[in-house]
Amino acid sequence: MAGHSKWAQIKRKKAATDAKRGRLFTRLLREIQVAARVGGGNVEGNPRLKTAIQTAKSYSVPADNIDRAVKRGAGASEGDAFEEINYEGYGPGGVALIIKSMTDNRNRTVSEIRHALSRHKGTLGTTNSVAHNFVNKGVLSLPRGAMEEDQLIAVALEAGAEDVQANDGTWEVFVPPAEFNAVRRALEEHSSEVQGEIRLEPVVTVPVAGETAEDLLKLLDVLDDLDDVQSVVANFEIDESELGRLES
């Protein structure tokens, strides 16, 4: 899935830019707030909240902001009542999409998502129409220079990881969700530059190229720029040379 992995890297670069604008911080803090509301504010008793806080810290979200988001979610202070809603649909070329949102107005959110899809050759689907194309997977990344390959593989696999892959300037470690925190702790003993998340990964991919690929990437950018959208996952495969052409 070289093309899909490359797209994940592009999204991380975009996330770095988002962080400077505060956009990424907003998304990370919403995740913390919802995690605290759903599972309570006790970090040790709420794995989702623990992961959300670790991810926020890896992007240098200030501790005070994190604490306030936990308190808002757990009901200790007033705040917007965000709810988590996933939308499913199709993009150009029949690519399956899952659009994760957090919103305080579901009518606004679904209207904006439907509008974006219809304008960019996509369609909104029904619940569970494409979910079978994806599985939850923990993905941890760190710079290639942070650890030697043999050491990384040994540490990661012993802690419970499934696979280690080289991707441009980073290592990517794929982990079952239940082992995510254990593997992360093991890696953090050797590097302070570990970032990670539990995300949906495609089981099978759909190849796209040419105009279809261009239309799809435009749609993904438009969806990703919607304020209520937390993330978008898609099961496409695109050749890296084609992706480089479209990126330029």
Domain of residue 66, CATH code: 1.10.10.200
Q: List 234's β-bridge partners, or say none.
A: 97
Q: What is the pLDDT of residue 32?
A: 93
- Domain annotation covers residue 94: no
Q: What is the pLDDT of residue 17?
A: 58
Q: What is the pLDDT of residue 69?
A: 92
Q: What is the pLDDT of residue 179?
A: 93
- Domain annotation covers residue 185: yes
Q: Which range of residues forms the domain containing residue 49?
A: 14-74
- Domain annotation covers residue 85: no
Q: What is the pLDDT of residue 168?
A: 75
Q: What is the pLDDT of residue 3?
A: 43
Give the count of domains, the chain: 2
Q: What is the pLDDT of residue 182?
A: 92
Choosing from 35, 53, 74, the residue where a domain stops is 74
- Domain annotation covers residue 225: no
- Domain annotation covers residue 183: yes
Q: What is the pLDDT of residue 238?
A: 85
Percent of the chain with pLDDT over 90: 56
- Report pLDDT digits (tens) over 108-141: 999 999 999 999 999 999 999 999 999 999 999 9
Counting as low any pLDDT under 50, the low residues of the chain are 1-3
- Domain annotation covers residue 120: no
- Domain annotation covers residue 222: no
- Domain annotation covers residue 179: yes
Nearest to 215, CA basis, from 89, 35, 52, 95 = 95
Q: What is the pLDDT of residue 186?
A: 95
Choosing from 161, 187, 202, the residue where a domain stops is 202
Per-position b or e across 187-225, b if 16+ CB within 10 A of its CB:
bbeeeeebbbbbebbbeebbebeeebbebbbbbbebbbe
What's the CATH number where 189 sits? 3.30.70.980
Cβ partners under 8 Å of residue 163, min gap 6 = 173, 174
Q: What is the pLDDT of residue 122?
A: 96
Q: List 103's β-bridge partners, or say none.
A: 83
Q: What is the pLDDT of residue 77?
A: 60
Q: What is the pLDDT of residue 59?
A: 82
CA distance 233 to 216: 12
Nearest to 202, CA basis, from 18, 4, 9, 53 = 4
Choosing from 74, 89, 107, the residue where a domain stops is 74
